[in-house]
Structure 1
Amino acid sequence: MATKAQYHVQSISLPSRPHPLIPEFDERLCRLRASQATSSSLSISHKLSGLKDLHDCVDNLLLLPLTQQTLAQHRHEKCVDELLDGSLRLLDVCGTAKDALLQTREHAHELQSSLRRSHGGENGISTEVEEYLTSRKKVKKAMHKALRNLTGMENKCSFSPLNKDPETISFVCMLKEVETVSLTVLESLLSSIAGAAARSKPSSWSLVSKLIHHKRVACEEAAGDLSEFEKVDISLCTLIAHKTKSVNQMPVDNVQNVLEKLESRIEDLEEGIEFYQSI
């Protein structure tokens, strides 16, 4: 993902005499960067909320007279336009993620209903399982495309600090900092939805094999770092394998359990995206 920006937040001087919003911006940015140390899907919703707070602070900074003057003076410069337009592209990425979450949640709900109707048995749920896994393939494809688009946004700024006034340099550095951390948070979101394929692209069956051909303890440790999306994928693939091969049985109620956790996690992520989209 994006390399950490080489700009230092402390150098921001809009206006020349530090405005109270500058320390607030620094604090929110540092807090958000610190949150990158955690990678759970649950924390992603918190990061999105923190990202909204950061953007709110930037919006307030943009309303300052000196900032407005800087914008007016450099409104036709390529880098400034790219940074301002970048926020719209990031919102488009959020829309793609939200659509993927909605699609996954609908198929997960249908599968949950089918499992309840089957009273915990495996018969009669094959269609719903296949539909869910087919939907997941489409979602992963969309997430990979969105991740490539995010990568294309990296390092697009052609800004050069030479012959620029301090206010302009500070303004561009601030927006670049925000874009960089926004890209990082949204990459985490897309990667979480896509699952392991976004990292190393193993097949579903290789993941299943990892879980069903090792000891139970080793399996639990291997699954510990997986997102809820991956856990459901693996549980369903294992369920299918159980019907055709002689392997350790994974009870259907375990599948129901991971589906319930997935739906809860999707709600958390959807709420985080709505926070960000409300900017």
Structure 2
Amino acid sequence: MANMIIKKQLRSISLPSRSHPSTSGLEDALNKIKTITTGSSESILMGLAGLEELYNCMEDFLKMGSTQQVMSSGGSEFMEEMLDGSLRLMDICSVSRDLMVDTHEHVRGVQSCVRRKKVAGGGGDKLDVAVSSYVGFRKNMRKEAKKLLGSLKKINGGSRSCDNDHEDEHLVAVIDAMRGVISVSVVVLKSFLEFLSRPKSNIKSKLASVLKKKKDNHEATKNELETLDSAICGEISSLDDLQKELEEVEMSISGFERNLEGLFRRLIRTRASVLNIISH
């Protein structure tokens, strides 16, 4: 159900009401992201990678002389809106990246204890400590992700159509296209944060649900973190199974960490370009 809602949100993002040749690159990049159904780790990674590409297009777009001319001659309120939105997105991206770094450290800690226990047959106490630390961290991660979701709601302007009081159709197209970029950024990051903050349900029922999904080969909404939650709390007794789940989570987390870092750097460049336009 969440998958369908997010897909609908992506499809509902309006492209510029008045297209202009200068905005065609951004429109194409927006269309690519709108074809992604976010929900599973793989699709969220695709969405984050799509945002990196989108902001690369945005950077090229902001370097165009025609764009700088039309934005410096009007739309000052919109420029402030863009600066505010980019700052909030940067903060959310930075905290999210740090969460992935911390998750990576906790997962590696559990992995190390599992390997030692498999090889030496001991180290149960250290594994219990590592598991307890991970469980506590996951609880805090959910809380932090929910706070970031609240911050996303404060980002305004992404889905609004440009006011019609501007006579310059080029300016209208530019503003609408850039608002579309902010809007799709919010949707993709929302999907990622919901992936992190999904509430922990009853472990036994969750494990049954996970096993059923695997049996049905229903991977569209697979959440490796939830699966690991079940495994790490003892519902999957085999150390081999636990190690497999840890490896899957590590792969996903590494991808999130890498893409969030890339997106953060591109957001910095976009903000610098907007500030440069304002200053000139």
| TM-score, length of structure 2 as denominator length | 0.79
Instruction: Tell me the equivalent position of 2:104.
Output: 105
Instruction: Tell me the equivalent position of 1:145.
Output: 147
2:161/2:176 contact within 8 Å kept? no
Distance 1:147 1:56, change over 3 A: same
Instruction: Tell me the equivalent position of 1:245.
Output: none
* Greater Rg over alpha carbons, structure: 1
Distance 1:75 1:216, change over 3 A: closer
1:42/1:268 contact within 8 Å kept? no
AA aligned opposite 1:32 = I
Instruction: Tell me the equivalent position of 2:67.
Output: 67
Instruction: Tell me the equivalent position of 1:186.
Output: 189
Instruction: Tell me the equivalent position of 1:90.
Output: 89
2:67/2:174 contact within 8 Å kept? yes
- For 1:66 and 1:139, locate their aligned partners in 2 and report how far apart those are by CA, in whole Å: 44
**Among residues 207, 231, 235, which one is paired with 1:235 in the alignment?**
231
1:45/1:271 contact within 8 Å kept? no
Distance 1:183 1:215, change over 3 A: closer
Q: Deviations over 1:51-93 (max 9, x none)?
A: 122112122222222321222223532x331123312211211
AA aligned opposite 2:139 = K
Instruction: Tell me the equivalent position of 2:274.
Output: none
Instruction: Tell me the equivalent position of 2:16.
Output: 9
SS of alignment partner, residue 163 of structure 2: coil
1:100/1:139 contact within 8 Å kept? yes
Gaps of 5+ in 1: 198-202, 243-248
Q: For 1:44-63, what aligned pairs fall within 5 Å after superposition?
A: 44-63=44-63
- For 1:215 and 1:4, locate their aligned partners in 2 and report how far apart those are by CA, in whole Å: 29
Aligned residues: 254
**Among residues 241, 266, 271, which one is paired with 1:254 in the alignment?**
241
Q: Considering only aligned residues, what root-mean-square deviation do their CA atoms show, in Å?
A: 2.8
Distance 1:3 1:54, change over 3 A: closer
Q: How much has 1:163 moved relative to structure 2?
A: 4.3
Distance 1:114 1:233, change over 3 A: same
- Identity among equivalent positions (%) equals 27
Q: For 1:158-173, what aligned pairs fall within 5 Å after superposition?
A: 160-173=163-176
1:210/1:219 contact within 8 Å kept? no
Instruction: Tell me the equivalent position of 1:264.
Output: 251
- For 2:49 and 2:151, locate their aligned partners in 1 and report how far apart those are by CA, in whole Å: 22
1:51/1:276 contact within 8 Å kept? yes
Instruction: Tell me the equivalent position of 1:130.
Output: 132
Q: How much has 1:152 moved relative to structure 2?
A: 1.9
- For 1:47 and 1:8, locate their aligned partners in 2 and report how far apart those are by CA, in whole Å: 18
1:228/1:261 contact within 8 Å kept? yes
| TM-score, length of structure 1 as denominator length | 0.80
Q: For 1:184-223, what aligned pairs fall within 5 Å after superposition?
A: 184-194=187-197, 196-197=198-199, 203-204=200-201, 206-211=202-207, 217=212, 220-221=215-216
1:74/1:80 contact within 8 Å kept? no
Q: Could you say which structure has the higher helix fraction? A: 2
- For 1:263 and 1:215, locate their aligned partners in 2 and report how far apart those are by CA, in whole Å: 18
Gaps of 5+ in 2: 1-5, 267-280
